[in-house]
Amino acid sequence: MSFSLIFFTRTMTTLESLDERVLRFQSDPAVEPFLAIANDLATWQYEHVPSLRRWWDHRGQHPPFDHLDDLPAVPTDAFRSTRFHDPERVPLRTFLTSGTTSGARGAHLRSTLRAYDHGARLHFRSAVQPPGRAQWPALALDAARHPESSLSYMIDLLAADDHASVHWLLTDEGLDPRLLQTHLTPDHPVVLFGTAFAFAELLQMQHAPLHPDSLLLETGGFKGRHAEVDRATFHARLAAHVHLDPARIRSEYSMTELSSQLYTLPGERRFLPPHWLHVSTADPDTLRPLPPGSEGLLRFVDLANTDTVLAVQTSDMGRVDVDGLVNLLGRDPRATPRGCSLAVEELLALQSMK
């Protein structure tokens, strides 16, 4: 047996055992401390994920860590310029972030999705409690045709767990009115996931009222692409449009770089994270951890990111209350003023349009 094969076998075993520990912890948080698993995952990731090792070396911080907040979180933009994965492993799936003006999309390469799958099912069942015998249309792209979409993957996974299959209503051209007429009816409850953009498009279209037990799950926010709309106002308009109690409209927060999801509770604007996702805030200036209850940039330690990046730093402002619920404050609309200058690419693009 060659050295590389021995090495490969050893790392497979180690990651599998870590996966098993995370799965047990997801099912029962009493089995061992969060920090113990986090440190073992951090050690594995430091040894096997070169880009992460480079980041932590750059920050001069290495496992083990005394506190969860000591983990140097990787800013999400780094997923656009490098790949965080064990090069010895063949990725099972590559999730891509949505496109940006620069064209560089972030990629999250996954060689195991066991903790993702187990955690997504568990937290959805406990936090959302979907209606029985629901159908699952989705304002999202077909998961089979778009394997790069982590949202579509998650919807497909949750529907399968609910013994349903998904009817994908979003095409590359937008929402399909014929499919809306077919699948959005008052005859049966639906669990309807979709991005805020897709729901905004739905508001412009005619379709039948929904069954009162239906559940709408809005995800993604607007992130500056549309005029900012207060989420509560948006949900109220949506509820009126589909003839649902506003409490039947919930929000989900996650991102391609994470494996776990947060959901709002009924009648609550704050988000509930699963217990295997540690949420904290960091000082926007220094990125140092802030005490609970402080507004800052949200950062996550996600145990379900077993094979990639344990700690992720976002650009989203938020606050974690003492009860553990997360306030999403969105992005500061006062972007850095750039004076009278535009980026070169913007200028050249404008020139070419003339």
Partner 1 sequence: MTPGDVLDTLASALAPSCDALAVHTGFSSPMLAWALTTYLATQRQRLAHARAARARHTTPPPRNLLSIQARSVPTVPLDSLLLARLVGSPLTLKLPRETNHPLLDLLPVHVTSLPHESLDLTPFDAIIAYGHDATLEHIQQALQPHQRLIAHGHRVSYVLLTSTPSPDEAHRLAVDLTTWDQLGCMAPEAALLLPEVDADVTLHRLHEALLTIESLRPRRTLSPAGLAELHQRRAFDLFACDEVVEGPTHTLTLSSALPRDATPRSRYLPLVRVDAAERVLHPLLSVLSTVASNNPEHARTLVPGTRVCALGRMQFPAFDAPHDGVHPVDSLFCFT
Q: How far is the CB of 70 from partner 1 (least distance, A)?
A: 17
Q: Which residue bears the tokens 């290495």? A: 62
| Cα–Cα nearest to 270, from 193, 199, 326 | 326
Host H or E run for residue 226: none
Taking the least distance from each CB to partner 1, the nearer of 74 and 325 is: 74
| Cα–Cα nearest to 78, from 61, 54, 110, 101 | 54
Helix 196-203, helix 231-242: angle, nearest 10: 50
Q: How far is the CB of 326 from partner 1 (least distance, A)?
A: 16
**Rounded Cα distance, 40 and 26, in Å:** 16
Strands 215-219 and 249-253: parallel
**Rounded Cα distance, 254 and 256, in Å:** 7
Taking the least distance from each CB to partner 1, the nearer of 181 and 315 is: 315
**Rounded Cα distance, 115 and 121, in Å:** 10
Q: How far is the CB of 51 from partner 1 (least distance, A)?
A: 6
Taking the least distance from each CB to partner 1, the nearer of 46 and 136 is: 46
**Rounded Cα distance, 323 and 273, in Å:** 11
Q: How far is the CB of 286 from partner 1 (least distance, A)?
A: 9
347 φ/ψ angles, rounded to the nearest 5 degrees: -65, -45
Q: How far is the CB of 340 from partner 1 (least distance, A)?
A: 5
Q: How far is the CB of 311 from partner 1 (least distance, A)?
A: 12
Q: Which two tokens stand for residue 53?
A: 């090792």
Q: How far is the CB of 114 from partner 1 (least distance, A)?
A: 28
Do 219 and 192 touch, CB atoms closer than 8 A?
no
Q: How far is the CB of 197 from partner 1 (least distance, A)?
A: 21
Taking the least distance from each CB to partner 1, the nearer of 178 and 334 is: 334
Taking the least distance from each CB to partner 1, the nearer of 137 and 296 is: 296
Taking the least distance from each CB to partner 1, the nearer of 132 and 337 is: 337
SS3 label, residue 170: strand
Strands 277-282 and 296-302: antiparallel
Taking the least distance from each CB to partner 1, the nearer of 112 and 314 is: 314
Q: Which two tokens stand for residue 76?
A: 């999400």
| Cα–Cα nearest to 139, from 176, 194, 201 | 194
**Rounded Cα distance, 189 and 130, in Å:** 10
> Hey, how many other C-beta atoms are within 10 angstroms of the C-beta on 21?
19
Q: How far is the CB of 53 from partner 1 (least distance, A)?
A: 12
Which residues lie near partner 1 (CB under 8 A)? 51, 54-55, 58, 74-78, 80-82, 100-104, 284-285, 287, 296-297, 313, 315, 317, 331-348, 350-351
Q: Torsion-angle region of residue 293: left (phi > 0), alpha (psi -120 to 50) or beta?
A: left
Taking the least distance from each CB to partner 1, the nearer of 1 and 340 is: 340
